[in-house]
Amino acid sequence: MSKDKYSRKFCVAPMMGYTTPHARKLYRILSQKTFLFTEMIAASTMLHSKTKDLIIENDLQNPIALQVGGSNINDLGICAKIAKSYNYDEINLNVGCPSKAVQKGSFGACLMQDKKLVRACLETMQNASDIEVTMKCRIGLGNDLNYDYFSAFIDEIVQSGINIIYVHARNAILNGISPKGNRSIPRLNYEFVTKIKKEHPHVQFILNGGIDSLDKAYALSKEHDGVMLGRLIQNNPFCLGKVDKLFFSFKSEKNLNKKIILDYFNYIKPKIGNDSIFRLLSPLLQIFFGIPDSKKLKTEIHQQIKDQEIDNLESLFLQFINLQKKAILS
């Protein structure tokens, strides 16, 4: 059984450069129930970086998991303690990232080649702290789908005692294609996840990969323990305003409105000077996703970012909300 009380029916995937502390704050304003993830943070960064407080910070964004990348057993045990001390609900071991940089560090998807090491890492992390320890992986490596390989890997992993596994339902191809290509070129196979669940009914398997709409996510959540979405949220984070009603039976959706903008600006204003305005505002810039004739306003916003005019920026975003309301009513 899972140690915590949180549902993982709907999760936002860890995404480098996107699930930053600032983006997660916006996600939490939009949805109370979505289970959030940090970007992958290397174990060495957690242990040695002088700016680790800024990188690891958790500004009341629970429920949330910290995803760590590493393969040094002792270091990962310390990371579990650190995650607990920063009030994370979960620490998740990355066994799914196929990038060359991650492979050089001997972690990510290449760890699927050493299932006993992964098991040892997970056992050590659990022994080090009472935080929930989980794993995110692929369904295999290389070009060929092989259920026996995936099943043997999971058989070893569940012996570590973990109860939650996030599965990107594609193979990872470690050579010849980019991380971006690895998100689309290897073919999806949700059936592997369905089948492994039958073999390990006590484990939660959260499905990830190719879920490109909330309707598809909802349908799949009926067939699986939960779903994890990445690119849809990256492109249009404001769809999270629909999640609590659709997945968790809240009475109403959180539509894009002035309060969301004001709440987010109240969050970023005290941080100006410690971080760039562009980084602080980056999550909000996706507000224009799919909106026609927004180029002029976007250009003006980028100019105000250059000029460091935070109050003008707040006014521009509020102006955009007013324009959208008028468009809906007309």
Contact 44, 75 (CB under 8 A): yes
**d(Cα 176, Cα 27) in Å, to the nearest integer?**
34
Dist. CA 9–CA 214, nearest whole Å: 12
Residue appearing with tokens 């099943």 = 151
Locate 272 and state its tokens.
């100006």
Report the alpha-carbon angle 153-157-160, nearest 5: 160
Output the furthest CA–CA distance in the chain (Å, rounded). 62
* Catalytic status, residue 11: no
What is the distance, to the nearest Å, from the Cα of residue 42 to the centroid of all Cα atoms in its chain? 15
Q: Which residues pair with 228 in a beta bridge?
A: 11, 208
Please return the burial class of 296, using the count of CB atoms within 10 Å of its CB with bins 0-12, 13-18 and 19+. Answer: exposed
Tell the burial category of 231 from Cβ atoms under 10 Å away from its Cβ (0-12, 13-18, 19+): middle
Distance CA 229, CA 213 (A): 9
Distance CA 280, CA 293 (A): 24
Task: Report how far apart, in Å, the C-alpha atoms of 203 and of each of 83, 116, 165, 198, 272 are.
Answer: 22, 19, 7, 10, 43
Catalytic residue (choose from 11, 97, 137, 239)? 97
Tell me the C-alpha to C-alpha distance, in Å, between residue 282 and each of 17, 21, 44, 264, 276.
Answer: 10, 11, 27, 12, 10
Q: Classify each residue of 263-277 as buried b or exposed e, where b means 16 or more C-beta atoms within 10 Å of its C-beta.
A: ebbebbeebeeeeeb
Residues annotated as catalytic are 97
